[in-house]
Amino acid sequence: SQKIEQNSEALNIQEGKTATLTCNYTNYSPAYLQWYRQDPGRGPVFLLLIRENEKEKRKERLKVTFDTTLKQSLFHITASQPADSATYLCALALGGKLIFGQGTELSVKP
Amino acid sequence: SAVISQKPSRDICQRGTSLTIQCQVDSQVTMMFWYRQQPGQSLTLIATANQGSEATYESGFVIDKFPISRPNLTFSTLTVSNMSPEDSSIYLCSVYDRTRTSTDTQYFGPGTRLTVL
């Protein structure tokens, strides 16, 4: 079955630094991969989608890369801010449904 | 993007009782889903709510325990039946509209935090 793995340990970084989160998947390569942000007590919010033929996608301070050979996506937040503190989830589509990784909790300290 | 509301936002229930959670969307959508998020865990898909027909359940979830209704394209309910403490979770509904996107991007409601004593 398809599996998605994210850094299970929380990531703590200093404000202004770049946060890098990893998402690895097994078995088949999806046509696209998505990243969501989830704040405590809230539902996930869609951030970015990257397709298999795209190596990199950017949105403001966010950057996502997709390496289908390594079966890995990296999610970067540059010039991080305390407001970026949240759990970040990667997800891939399988048969019209989304399969989520377990998420990585990011904490940005001032 | 769609605006999704859920009721109740949280509840504390006694073992053996049932709770019905409502999900309302501000526009018609083709697909609606129900997820469970147990404490410290990621999201697990319970079922796809199908308009006008029975929901499609994922492995490990059954209709008797989680009956779902979807009477129209903007509304769905999930009932958690005969609850036990193991059902304590956040329950989330999500939607996407295949007429607007081909990429399965989903929009989530705020969730219902359920505690079973």
Taking only the tens of pLDDT, chain B with its 117 residues reads: 788 999 999 999 999 999 999 999 999 888 899 999 998 888 999 999 988 889 999 999 999 999 999 999 999 999 999 999 999 999 999 998 766 666 667 889 999 999 999
What pLDDT shows up at residue B102? Answer: 62
Is residue A47 within 8 Å of A37, Cβ to Cβ? yes
CA dist A108 and A85 (Å) reads 6
Is residue A101 within 8 Å of A5, Cβ to Cβ? yes
Q: Does residue A6 have a pLDDT over 70? A: yes
| Backbone phi and psi for residue B47, each to the nearest 5 degrees, phi listed first | -165, 160
What pLDDT shows up at residue B31? Answer: 85
CA dist A42 and A49 (Å) reads 20
Flag if B109 and A100 touch (Cβ within 8 Å): no
Flag if A98 and B48 touch (Cβ within 8 Å): no
Is residue A86 within 8 Å of A37, Cβ to Cβ? yes
pLDDT digits (tens, 9 = 90+) for A23-79: 999 877 777 889 999 998 889 999 998 888 888 999 999 999 998 889 999 999 999
What pLDDT shows up at residue B14? Answer: 97
Is residue B64 within 8 Å of B54, Cβ to Cβ? no
Is residue B2 within 8 Å of B27, Cβ to Cβ? yes
Flag if A34 and B94 touch (Cβ within 8 Å): no
What pLDDT shows up at residue A93? Answer: 79
What pLDDT shows up at residue A94? Answer: 76
